[in-house]
Amino acid sequence: MEPTTHMPGPPRTSLAEYVLQVLRERLAAGQLAPGEHLRETELAEELEVSRGPIREALAMLEAEGAIEIRRHRGAFVSVLTSEDVDEVHTLREAIEVLAAERAATRLTDEHVTELDRILAAMKVTSGSVAPQEAVRLDLSFHDVMYEAADHVRLSRVWRSIRSQVSFFLYTRNVNFPDFPTVGFPEHKELRDALCSGDPAHARAAAADHLSGAYTRLSQLDLPSRHTVSRGRRSS
């Protein structure tokens, strides 16, 4: 009788990516509160993986700015500060206008169809749309634009800040639940600019589109980075 061949399990990197995806979704849905302690042991037991993939996923989230790892204390969900809003907005604007400029001359029929499908979903959202659904629709639209831009490194930068953007959008939609009235028209304007084939028009539309969310977040009474640091040291 031949010995039984044991199939190898999924590689650690796959498990880490699985954990990363779960945590990103929870951050985007607002299920993890700012300052919340993410305990490796509890996450490992819940997700039925070892602590290795948990550590890898947490390290990736730290690199993205979604969490912070404090020495001898563990991982904590980042607290949104006024500096965070400004930094992510200015970085996103820098890459988004480039993505829009390139997409304007590279959109395929498939891209346009997908943009219109997302817009149709935005149009029928009711006043009770959940913040996480608003975030999903918003990011899905921009994912298509970055794909159409056909720029590998640009897409890589977008993915590196996407979880932070999702957290910001969630915060914006919780505090300003006006997505049902502004989500469709604002994205429709951007869609039309992208479909115009005019790179300059698309750049201007992308910058204008981002200014609305930034203005709303800027109105929140967010702590400064210095205040958060000082509070952490005293705790």
Weakest-pLDDT range from 35-39, 148-152, 190-194, 222-226? 222-226
Work out the pLDDT band at 12, boundaries 50, 70, 90. Answer: low
Say yes or no: do domains 12-78 and 82-218 share a fold. Answer: no
Distance CA 64, CA 159 (A): 9
Q: What is the mean pLDDT of residues 167-174?
A: 84
The Cα 51–Cα 45 span in angstroms is: 9
The domain spans of the chain are: 12-78, 82-218
Q: Are 137 and 129 in contact (CB under 8 A)?
A: no
The dihedral formed by the CA atoms of 180, 216, 78 and 59, expressed in degrees to the nearest 10: 70
Asked whether the whole model's pTM tops 0.85, one would answer no
* DSSP run (H or E) holding 75: strand 74-77
Question: Given a cut of 60, is residue 229 above it in pLDDT?
Answer: yes
Q: Is residue 130's pLDDT more than 80?
A: yes
Give me the CATH code for the 12-78 domain, please: 1.10.10.10
pLDDT score at 36: 92
Better-scored residue on pLDDT, 27 or 112 = 112
Kindly report, residue by residue over 71-116, the tens digit of the pLDDT. 889 999 988 888 988 999 999 999 999 999 999 999 999 999 999 9
Identify the band that residue 24 occupies on the pLDDT scale cut at 50, 70 and 90: confident
Residue 11 has what pLDDT? Answer: 54
The CA-atom distances, in angstroms, between 86 and each of 83, 176, 220 are 5, 18, 12
Tell the residue number behind the tokens 């639209």, with chain if given.
141
Mention the CATH class of domain 82-218: mainly alpha
